[in-house]
Amino acid sequence: MLKVSKEKTIRFFQAFGKSMLVPIAILACIGIIVGLTAALNRQQVADLLPFMANEHVSYTLLTIRSISLELFNLIPAMFAISIAFGLAEKDKEIAALAGFIAYYVLMFSSSIMVNSSYVNFPANALATALGITTINMGALGGIIAGLAAARIHNKYRTLKLPDALSFFGGKRSVAIITFLSMAVVGQLLPFVWAPIASGMNAVGSGIADLGLLGTFLYGFLEKLLLPTGLHHVVINLFRTTALGGSMMIDGQQVDGALNVVTSLLGNVPTQDLAPFTRFMGQGRMPIHIFGLPAAALAMYRITPPERKAIVKPLLIAGTLSVFLTGITEPIEFLFLFTAPMLFLFHSVMTGLGFLLMHMFSVVIANTQGGIIDLAVFGALVENSNWLSIVMVGIPYIFIYYFTFKWYLAKKNVVIAEGVEATDTTTSKEVSENGAVRDRASVIIAALGGAENIKDAYNCMTRLRLDMIDTSIINEGELKKTKAIGVNIVSKTHAQVIYGPAVEQVADEVKEALGFQ
C-alpha cells in the first residue's frame, strides 16, 4: 500500500512539474527580450551605435520591454491555467477555463475580505493581480487555483443532476462549482495566508542565511532531481515564490528570484540583483558552456572506432543544444544510467558552479545557461562580472574531460549502447509522411502496445508515459527511433529521452494513440 502511494505521489509531482513547463518556457524567451532591451538601452550602446539614441528606436525598445514585463505579472494566471490543463484527466480545455476562473475568483473574493472590517490585513502585504488589489500570493495563488480547478474538474466533470437541472450538470458544473468553491476559499484565505507567508519568508531567509552553502545546495539538488523530473518544481518555487527572496518594489512586495530580477533589470545597479540571480541560471554556465562539451569530447575519445560514427552525431547534437541554449538532457542521458557515479559528480560540480558564481559576485539574470544567455545577460550588462564564468569555466573543461575519460575507460562504459549505425525505420521516418506513422508505430510497439499506454505527454526533452507495466518496454527498439535513453521511474511511469525533437515525437505518438 505504501509503495502504491509512493508511486502515486511521484506521478503527481511529475505531472505537476510538467504542467508548469509551458509558462516557464514562454517566460524564458520573454526574459531574453527583457534583458536584450535593457542592454540595448544603455548609454554605452548609444555611444558605440549612435542611431540607438534615436527617439523612435528608444520608443520601440521601451514598448517591447514594457509589454514583455507585463507578461511576468501574468505568471500566477498562466500557472492556474496550465496546471489545471496539465492535471485534467480529460476535457482539458474545460479544466483550463476553470483554472482561470478559480484564480480570478480567489483573488477577487480575497480582495473583498481584506477591504472589509473583518480582518486587519497589512497594506504592505497587498499586491495587484489582474487589476485587483488583493493579498500578495504571487505564483502560489495561481498554483493553488490550478490545483483546485483540476481537482474539481476531475471529480465533477461527469456530474449527473435531475432532469430539470441537467443543463447545469457534466462539464458545465465544473465552472459553477469552481466559482462557488473559490469564492468561499477567497473569504477564508486572508486569515490563514499571513502566517503562511511569514513562514515562507522565514524559510527563504534561512536559505539566504546559509550563504554559499545554501547556494550550493540549491544547485546540487536542482541537478540531482533531474532524472525524476521533480527539479522543475524546485526551480519554479525558488524563482516565483518567497523561497527565492522578496523585495519591496513601488510599495509592493515582489516574491521570487525571477520576478524581482525582471522587475528591476536595467533600472537598478546590477550588483543589487546578486541575492536573487544566485537562484537563476548563472551557476550552470561553467557546466553548460565549458564542462559538458568537454565531457562530450571525452565520451567520443573513449568510444571504440567502430562505434564513433554512431556516437558522433548524438554528441554533436547534444553539445550544440547545451552550449547554445542550456538544454542538457541530450548529453546527460547518455551517461546518467550507464555511469550514475558520473552523474553524482556532475551534480556536485553543478552545485559548486552555483557556489562559485555567488562567491565571485556574478550577476547574470538568465534562466537556462547557454552562450546566448551569457551574451545577453552577461557581456552586454555592465558590472555583471561575466568574465568570472570564463575564469571558472576553463578549469571545468579539464576537470570534466579527464574525469569522464578516466571513469568511462576504467569502467569500460559503452556510450549510447543499443543505438545502431543503420536503421531503415529511422531513415524512412525523416523522409516521408508514411514514415511518421511508422516511427509512432515502432515506439508504441516498443512500449508494449497501445493497451499498455494510459497517457503520453512531453517536457522539453522527454516523452513521458503513464503505463500499466513498464517492465515490458523494449529499450533497444526505442533507440532505433533515435531515443537517447529510457528512464524507468516506477512500475507505471517511464520517460524516453529524445532531446529537443521530443515535441514532434510526442505529437506523432499521441495522434497514433488517439490522445488529445
Tell me: the pLDDT tens digits for 200-214?
667 667 777 788 998
Q: Is residue 417 part of a domain?
A: no
- For residue 21, what pLDDT band results from cuts at 50, 70 and 90? low
Q: Is residue 246 part of a domain?
A: yes
Domain final residue, candidates 389, 411, 433: 411
One domain, residues 459 and 380: no
pLDDT at 423: 44
Domain final residue, candidates 202, 224, 253: 202
List, in order, residues 6 or more apart from 40 with CB less than 8 Å away. Answer: 52, 61, 380
Tell me how many degrees the CA angle 460-464-465 measures, rounded to the nearest 5: 165
**41-53 residue pLDDT tens:** 666 667 777 887 7
- Which of 34-38, 234-238, 417-421 is predicted least confidently? 417-421
316: β partners: none
pLDDT at 457: 80
pLDDT at 80: 92
pLDDT at 429: 45
Q: Is residue 237 part of a domain?
A: yes
The values of phi and psi at residue 39, to 5°, are: -70, -40
One domain, residues 401 and 307: yes
What mean pLDDT value characterizes the chain? 82
One domain, residues 389 and 477: no
Burial (0-12, 13-18, 19+ Cβ within 10 Å), 124: exposed
Euclidean distance between the first and the last CA atom of the chain, given in angstroms as a whole number: 31
Q: Is residue 416 part of a domain?
A: no
One domain, residues 265 and 281: no
Which is it for strands 453-458 and 132-135: parallel, antiparallel or unpaired? unpaired
Answer yes or no: are the C-beta atoms of 486 and 473 closer than 8 Å: yes
Q: Is residue 489 part of a domain?
A: yes
One domain, residues 22 and 142: yes
Residue range of the domain that includes 376? 276-411
Tell me how many degrees the CA angle 254-209-199 measures, rounded to the nearest 5: 55
One domain, residues 160 and 179: yes
**246-291 residue pLDDT tens:** 888 877 778 888 888 878 877 788 888 888 888 888 999 999 999 9
Give this prediction's pTM.
Answer: 0.65
Helix (H) or strand (E) holding 271: none
One domain, residues 300 and 260: no
Residues 218-222 have a mean pLDDT of 88
pLDDT at 379: 85
- Which of 68-72, 74-78, 142-146 is predicted least confidently? 68-72
Question: Which CATH number is 437's domain given?
Answer: 3.30.1360.60
Q: How far is CA 478 from CA 81, 231, 250, 301, 505, in A?
A: 33, 25, 53, 25, 12
486: β partners: 496
Q: Which ranges of 271-386 would DSSP assign to H, the alpha helix?
A: 274-277, 285, 292-302, 308-325, 329-332, 340-359, 371-373
One domain, residues 309 and 287: yes
Catalytic annotation, pick one of 459, 489, 496, 506? 459
Q: Is residue 207 part of a domain?
A: no
Q: Is residue 128 part of a domain?
A: yes
Structurally, the chain folds into a number of domains equal to 4
Q: Is the per-residue pLDDT at 121 higher than 90? A: no
Domain final residue, candidates 228, 246, 269: 269
One domain, residues 447 and 363: no
Residues 190-202 have a mean pLDDT of 78
459 flagged as catalytic = yes
One domain, residues 250 and 352: no
One domain, residues 145 and 15: yes
- For residue 6, what pLDDT band results from cuts at 50, 70 and 90? low
Burial (0-12, 13-18, 19+ Cβ within 10 Å), 169: middle
Q: Is residue 419 part of a domain?
A: no
310: how many CB neighbours lie within 10 A of its CB? 16
One domain, residues 45 and 126: yes
Residues 490-505 have a mean pLDDT of 83
Better-predicted residue by pLDDT, 201 or 479 = 479
